[in-house]
C-alpha cells in the first residue's frame, strides 16, 4: 500500500506494510528504517535515552550496502534515496521502542555532496517532523563531515526550527575547536577508532577524562563503538554522557521489539565472573 506523500513528490516510492511500518520501494529494491540504542548511566544501570536512526537496503530479498544500491539505480533516483532514508527514520519512530527519547539523525550524504541539496534535505526533515507529530527538540542532527563549510548554515537552520545539533570527529585531524565554540553543538561524538586507541593505556584514558570534562562545559559527550567491556569501562571512568556500540545493542528494524531498555553495568563489565568492579 502506498504511504502518504507528505514532503515527497508524487513519484517518490513510499509504501506501508500491513502493520503500518513505512518503507521505500525502488523496482526490486527495498529500504527500511533501523534504530540503534544510545545509553546513559544511571547508578548501576545503563538506561536507554536515545536512538540513532539508520537504513538497511535489500535487492530481491538479499541485503546490500546502501551505497551499493545507488550504483544499481539511475542517477535521477539518488536524491530520492537520500531524502527517503531520513524520512523513513522520522516516520517510523512512533513504531519503535524508545520513541519517547531523542532521535539522532545522520545528515552525512551517501553520494550527494551539493550544499544546495543538503540544505533542501533539511527542509524535508523539518517538514517530516511536523507530519510525524514529533517535538523538534526530540531530534538531533549530526552535521555532515564531508561538508564542513556548510556547518554554520546548517546549524543556523536547525536552531531556527528547535532541532538539536551533533558534531562528530572529536579525536581526528578534522576536529575544529573553533567550529565547536562557534556552533555550540548539543552533542559531541568521539571518533570510535581514536577512542579504541585511547583505551589501550591507563594514562590516555585518564587524559581522555580531562578532555571529556572540558567538552562537557558546553555539550554532552557521546562515545560510539563501545564493543568490549574494557571500552565501556574506559568510557564510564571518563564520565561520558552517552554510550553506544556492539556491546550494548545493534540496529533493529522499525517495529521490532527491543529488550535493551536497561542494562546492568557490572554484568557488562564482568560478563564471565560477575565480579563487582570499581565503577560503582
DSSP bridge partners of 48: 39
User: Which is higher by pLDDT, 95 or 195?
Assistant: 195
User: In this predicted model, what pLDDT tens digit does every residue of 155-182 receive, in sequence order?
Assistant: 999 999 999 999 999 999 889 999 999 9
- The correct CATH number of 14-269 out of 1.10.10.10, 3.90.1170.50, 3.20.20.450, 1.10.3720.10 is 3.20.20.450
**Cα separation, 185 vs 138, whole angstroms:** 15
pTM assigned to the model: 0.89
245, pLDDT greater than 80: yes
Confidence band, pLDDT 50/70/90 cuts, at residue 278: very low
**What is the pLDDT, as a whole number, of residue 14?**
84
Task: Encode 105-155 in three state secondary structure.
Answer: EECCCCCCCCHHHHHHHHHHHHHHHHHCCCCHHHEEEECCHHHHHHHHHHH
**Residues paired with 45 in a beta bridge:** 42, 264
Residue 207 region by backbone torsions, left for phi larger than 0, else alpha for psi between -120 and 50, else beta: alpha
Q: In the chain, what are the domain boundaries?
A: 14-269
pLDDT, tens digit (0-9, with 9 covering 90-100), for 93-124? 988 876 678 999 998 887 766 677 777 778 88
User: CB neighbours (10 Å) of residue 5?
Assistant: 12
Nearest in space to 40 (alpha carbons), one of 279, 262, 226, 229:
262
Amino acid at each position: 500500500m502506498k504511504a502518504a506523500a507528505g514532503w515527497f513528490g508524487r513519484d517518490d516510492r513510499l509504501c506501508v506494510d500491513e502493520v503500518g511500518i513505512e518503507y521505500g520501494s525502488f523496482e526490486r529494491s527495498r529500504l527500511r528504517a533501523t534504530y540503534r540504542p544510545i545509553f546513559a548511566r544511571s547508578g548501576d544501570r545503563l538506561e536507554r535515552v536515545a536512538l540513532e536512526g539508520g537504513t538497511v537496503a535489500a535487492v530481491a530479498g538479499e541485503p546490500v550496502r546502501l551505497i551499493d544500491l545507488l550504483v544499481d539505480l539511475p542517477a535521477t533516483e539518488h536524491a530520492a534515496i537520500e531524502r527517503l532514508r531520513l524520512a523513513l527514520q522520522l516516520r517510523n519512530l512512533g513504531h519503535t521502542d524508545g520513541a519517547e527519547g531523542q532521535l539522532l539523525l545522520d545528515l552525512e550524504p551517501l553520494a550527494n555532496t551539493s550544499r544546495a541539496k543538503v540544505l533542501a534535505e533539511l527542509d524535508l526533515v523539518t517538514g517530516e517532523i511536523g507530519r510525524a507529530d514529533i517535538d523538534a527538540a526530540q531530534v538531533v542532527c549530526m552535521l555532515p563531515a564531508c561538508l564542513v563549510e556548510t556547518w554554520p548554515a546548517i546549524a543556523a537552520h536547525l536552531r531556527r526550527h528547535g532541532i538539536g545539533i551533533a558534531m562528530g570527529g572529536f579525536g581526528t585531524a578534522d576536529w575544529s575547536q573553533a567550529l565547536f565554540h562557534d556552533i555550540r553543538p548539543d552533542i559531541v561524538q568521539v571518533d570510535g577508532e581514536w577512542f579504541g586507541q585511547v583505551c589501550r593505556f591507563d594514562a590516555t584514558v585518564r587524559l581522555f577524562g580531562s578532555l571529556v570534562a572540558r567538552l562537557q562545559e558546553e555539550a554532552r559527550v557521546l562515545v560510539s563503538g563501545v564493543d568490549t567491556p574494557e571500552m565501556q569501562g574506559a568510557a564510564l571512568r571518563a564520565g561520558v554522557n552517552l554510550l553506544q556500540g556492539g556491546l550494548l545493542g545493534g540496529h533493529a528494524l522499525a517495529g521490532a521489539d527491543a529488550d535493551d531498555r536497561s542494562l546492568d553495568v557490572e554484568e557488562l563489565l564482568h560478563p564471565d565472573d560477575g565480579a563487582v568492579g570499581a565503577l560503582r
